[in-house]
Amino acid sequence: MFSGSIVALVTPFNHSDEVDYDSLKNLVEYHIKSGSSGIVAVGTTGESATLTVEEHVKVVNKAVEFAAGRIPIIAGTGANATHEAVTFSRLLNNSGVAGCLSVTPYYNKPTQEGLYLHYKAIAEVSEVPVILYNVPGRTAVDLLPETVGRLSQLDKIVGIKDATGDLSRVEKFRELCGEEFILLSGDDATGLDFVKLGGNGVISVTNNIAAAEMAEMFKLAAEGKLEEADKINQKLMPLHKHLFIESSPIPVKWAAHQLGLIAQGDLRLPLTELSDKGKVIVAQALKDAGIQ
């Protein structure tokens, strides 16, 4: 259902701090032409935490409109309040999205039982497939494999985006969740290794600016051409690493603007522009990766 190279899409803003829908349209076209397998609209890379509910829903709807059925759109619907995550799921049920991606609740640090009940509530109202999203580095809570195993038994919960970088979890997920459960890496630096161990693909930040290369890499991996995939991955490794030298999506939005993919690289506070030191590092990473 979901596999290959899926982009964790940035949300472009203009200098007036409004969503730039012209740039959003350009991004959707870029990913269609580049062969990306899917688009996550308004995930954490899309600065979901700083969009209003109205903006959040509109960006997803516009992404679906611009895609016009040519590429699957996955809606970011996560929140740290269960009722808010449920509301996003309800609002986007009939939007035309192929699925939703829901991050673990952040800041309030629920127990494993709390996480289970949180996702159970979402699954009960969602009319589209639900992908769990575990990123402890941002949320301060870790959705453990055993809890994922329980959740995999629920209707609508079809997979997980795991951004821990812990490759040992792939085997655990397979054992606990079965062969049909979709395993997506959320860590670009280990994404290819994740797939080699039995994962289905990646939801990627690097894909924002190296979409064709990422698509080709995971296509080769699916075909068993691992040496060729490795060559691409090594070339992209400077981006995998240096797009996170400051809080994402700060570096990748600067890079996307430099490459002409978005009109402006603006972010919403509390995120700020990439530092001068960071610009030098990311510019060199683009050069090293052959992305011009």
Cα 23–chain centre separation:
18
How far is Cα 284 from Cα 44, in angstroms, rounded to an integer? Answer: 25
- Residue 141: both structure tokens together: 């809570």
Asked whether residue 39 is marked as a ligand-binding residue, the answer is no
How far is Cα 219 from Cα 35, in angstroms, rounded to an integer? Answer: 10
The yes-or-no answer on residue 120 being catalytic is: no
Spot the catalytic one: 58, 133, 231, 235.
Answer: 133
How far is Cα 182 from Cα 201, in angstroms, rounded to an integer? Answer: 9
Asked whether residue 190 is marked as a ligand-binding residue, the answer is no
> Quick one: which of 16, 18, 6 has its CA closest to 202?
6
Return the SS3 of 216: helix
The yes-or-no answer on residue 133 being catalytic is: yes
Q: Which amino acid is at 286?
A: L
* Residue 128, C-beta contacts closer than 8 angstroms, at least 6 positions apart: 92, 93, 97, 98, 99, 100, 156
Spot the catalytic one: 33, 161, 196, 225.
Answer: 161
- Residue numbering of the annotated binding site for pyruvate: 45, 203
- Residue numbering of the annotated binding site: 45, 203
Catalytic residue positions? 133, 161
